[in-house]
């Protein structure tokens, strides 16, 4: 992901306003971003980009995907005090938010490995507007899969499409319109619906809001013909049970919309 100058300027404008007196501090100083709890690190690329835009020298002590411990310094900075102080809150917020997502994702991946060495834990499009790139990269840092990044990456035939067109007709409708490189995933609400979708030409079947026993039955009906995914309110605690059903993917909106931030602090002059 490229952190654009426009994005950084938007973040700074939001935080600094029109007349920042608070950070009008003369001289040079140093600072460091410190973890206040253990977890998995993410968001450092964006945090570094903010400081570098402000003319601050940055040295990373850890990289995205690393397990970090309470009290660990993840990056240090040196430069004008005014610039460091202006960038520190944005850096803390981004690192905290992204690391929280990465930590929750790693927990889900570890839970899945209790039952399966191959099932993928994936994010969804339930992301914060303007922060999808950072949040999706955080999922990857935690060992997860991004799923589709936006609507152009894959067609997902959902219940509303099926209500309007019918299952088979909806699949045929989109198959005529997509590139040969674009997969079609179909959301179903019964095990039998999964088999119908596969027979109609789906590349991936998503069993949505089904209990594990029903998902397992749906997977058996597919007989390995297409990829199988489970989704719908799945928590980290639920992951091992769903991983045991034989699905290929477990997607979890909670990775991005409900993960608590990892706590960081920024200390200057040390």
C-beta of residue 260 within 8 angstroms of C-beta of residue 113? no
Is residue 136 annotated as part of the catalytic site, yes or no? no
Buried b (16+ CB within 10 A) or exposed e, 121-153: bbbbbebeeebbbbbbbbbbbbbbbbbbeeeee
* Count of other CB atoms within 10 angstroms of residue 265: 12
The label of the residue with tokens 């034989």 reads 246
Q: Are 185 and 157 in contact (CB under 8 A)?
A: yes
Q: Of 36, 82, 126, 158, which residue is the catalytic one?
A: 126
Q: How far apart are the first and last CA of the chain?
A: 32
Place of tokens 């253990």: 38
Query: Which secondary-structure segment (H or E) carries 212?
Result: helix 212-222
Identify whether the C-beta of residue 264 lies closer than 8 Å to the C-beta of residue 95: yes
With a CB cutoff of 8 Å and minimum separation 6, the contacts of 237 are 111
Q: What are phi and psi of 105, to 5 degrees?
A: -65, -45
Residue positions annotated with a catalytic role: 126
């Amino acid at each position: 992901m490229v952190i654009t100058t426009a994005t950084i300027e938007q973040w700074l404008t939001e935080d600094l306003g029109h007349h920042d007196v608070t950070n009008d501090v003369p001289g040079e100083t140093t600072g460091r971003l410190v973890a206040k709890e253990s977890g998995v690190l993410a968001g450092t690329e964006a945090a570094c980009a903010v400081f570098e835009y402000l003319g601050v020298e940055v040295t990373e002590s850890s990289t995205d995907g690393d397990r970090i411990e309470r009290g660990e310094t993840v990056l240090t900075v040196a430069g004008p005090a005014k610039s460091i102080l202006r960038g520190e809150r944005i850096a803390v917020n981004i690192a905290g938010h992204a690391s929280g997502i990465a930590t929750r994702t790693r927990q889900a991946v570890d839970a899945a490995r209790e039952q399966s060495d191959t099932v993928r834990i994936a994010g969804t499009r339930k992301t914060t507007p303007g922060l999808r790139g950072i949040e999706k990269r955080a999922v990857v840092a935690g060992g997860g899969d991004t799923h589709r990044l936006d609507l152009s990456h894959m067609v997902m035939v959902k219940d509303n499409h099926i209500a309007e067109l019918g299952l088979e007709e909806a699949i045929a409708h989109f198959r005529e319109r997509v590139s040969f490189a674009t997969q079609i995933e179909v959301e179903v609400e019964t095990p039998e619906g999964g088999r119908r979708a596969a027979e109609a030409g789906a590349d991936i079947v998503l069993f949505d809001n089904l209990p594990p026993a029903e998902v397992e039955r749906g997977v058996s009906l597919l007989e390995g013909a297409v990829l199988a995914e489970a989704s719908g309110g799945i928590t980290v605690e639920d992951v091992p049970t769903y991983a045991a059903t034989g699905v290929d993917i477990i997607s979890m909106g909670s990775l991005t919309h409900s993960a608590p931030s990892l706590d960081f602090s920024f200390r200057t002059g040390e």
